[in-house]
């Protein structure tokens, strides 16, 4: 029976490269000289920490990071922006969480979407992925198109396609 998995997993190697390239650019840019502008990737917690002197500077670092992520072909929708926090002195920091896996609420939404579409496929939630099975390959491809269109706010990918 043909099937595929709907997942939400960023390429962490490319994300790490983007963060390192951003840090390198921050170190060489004239407008960041002598400031607290910095970026750090915490792989265990899957988060990126931006620090700077002001909100404006955090936004500049964020713009550089988004450019580097785009060059590395990592979708910016994987980032969940946290609140800007004041730390010692006049410095601020912002934590960006990297989304990994489909949350149960989103998985239920995908499952309901496929069920309501009247396509001849079944969707089952398996951990942080949604497995879709069907009799025909064309039905599975129609389900992929439907999920891509309706769940545009999630950076979904489809893998493990079995025929």
Same fold, 3-9+101-162 and 12-98: yes
The tens digit of pLDDT for each residue in 42-87 reads 988 889 999 999 889 999 999 999 999 999 998 888 888 889 899 8
If DSSP codes are grouped into helix, strand and coil, which group holds residue 46? coil
Q: For domain 12-98, give the fold.
A: Alpha-Beta Plaits (3.30.70)
State whether the Cα torsion 93-27-78-2 is positive or negative. negative
CATH architecture of 3-9+101-162: 2-Layer Sandwich (3.30)
- Residue spans per domain, the chain: 3-9+101-162, 12-98
pLDDT tens by residue, 99-143 = 888 888 888 999 999 888 888 999 899 888 899 998 888 888 899
Rounded to two decimals, what is the model's pTM?
0.82
Helix 137-150, helix 104-116: angle, nearest 10: 130
Cα separation, 119 vs 60, whole angstroms? 46
């Amino acid at each position: 029976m043909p099937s595929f998995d709907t997942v939400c997993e960023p390429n962490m190697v490319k994300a790490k490269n983007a963060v390192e390239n951003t840090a390198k650019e921050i170190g060489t840019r004239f407008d960041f000289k002598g400031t607290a502008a910095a970026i750090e990737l915490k792989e265990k917690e899957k988060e990126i920490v931006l620090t700077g002197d002001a909100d404006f500077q955090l936004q500049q670092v964020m713009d550089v990071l988004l450019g580097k992520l785009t060059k590395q072909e990592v979708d910016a929708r994987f980032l969940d922006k946290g609140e800007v926090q004041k730390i010692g002195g006049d410095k601020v920091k912002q934590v960006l969480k990297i989304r990994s896996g489909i949350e149960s609420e989103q998985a239920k939404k995908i499952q309901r979407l496929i069920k309501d579409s009247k396509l001849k496929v079944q969707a089952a939630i398996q951990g942080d992925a949604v497995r879709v099975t069907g009799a025909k390959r064309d039905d599975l491809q129609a389900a992929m198109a439907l999920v891509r269109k309706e769940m545009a706010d999630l950076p979904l990918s489809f893998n493990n396609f079995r025929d």
